[in-house]
Amino acid sequence: MLKTSGFSLLEMLISVMLSSLIIIGSASFYSQLQINSQKYYQMMHLQQTINHALSGLSKDIKRAGFIANHPTSTKVKAIEINQQQNCIIIRYDSKSRHEWVYDSIHLNNSDIFTFRYYKNNLEYKTGAIDCQGTNWQRIFDPAEIRITKFLIKQQTHTIKIFLAAELKKHEQIKYEITKIIKNENSN
């Protein structure tokens, strides 16, 4: 008589149950890994977008006051901060014309660069001599990013900027940054 060897029904049920637990645990881990990866990607995207925008503002602040060949007298301040409107007006000789140009007809030809916090976004305008008016360019896509706070503070030879933002569709993903920018042309 041949002796048959194999698994009993109980052994098969135990192995199927253990395999199922391992597969369910792996699927749960993979699902959580995907969620965490997506949150990480969204956070990195928010940080990079904010930092990229602030780098443009930082360059303008560093250049504030520059005039080719350094004339000794200027008629207006290189940096004006309007705290009530969360606005900064920056002037520098952007095309080495030996003066700060204001062209009221062709604003993009002007050496005035203005940033303001308006309706949960940062806006930019060339040639704006104040923080009012229309035809401002939004820096961030309003369907994607909401700026929750923007503060500008003048310090000795530096400007301190605080910016807080969140993703509009994922409000739990937030980013805050404080940046201190030295004006290269201040006395």
Chain centroid to Cα 24, Å, comes to: 40
Alpha carbon distance 110, 102 (integer Å): 5
- pLDDT at site 45: 94
Half-sphere exposure of 78 (CA within 13 A, CB side): 23
Among the ranges given (50-54, 67-71, 121-125), the one the predictor scored with the smallest mean pLDDT: 67-71
The residue written with tokens 């949150």 in the block is: 39
Which 3 state secondary structure label does DSSP give 173?
coil
Residues contacting residue 90 through CB under 8 Å, at least 6 positions apart: 60, 61, 63, 64, 78, 79, 112, 113, 114, 115
The reported pTM is 0.80
Q: How confident is the model at residue 187 (pLDDT cuts 50, 70, 90)?
A: low
Residue 16 has pLDDT above 80, yes or no: yes
- pLDDT at site 43: 95
Q: How confident is the model at residue 66 (pLDDT cuts 50, 70, 90)?
A: confident
Selected residue with higher pLDDT from 99 and 58: 58
3-state SS string for 65-84: CCCCCCCCCCCCCCEEEECC
- pLDDT at site 108: 84
- pLDDT at site 157: 84
- pLDDT at site 41: 94
- pLDDT at site 48: 96
Residue 74 has pLDDT above 80, yes or no: no
- pLDDT at site 77: 87
* Closest listed residue to residue 60, CA positions, set 80, 90, 88: 90
Residue 2 has pLDDT above 80, yes or no: no
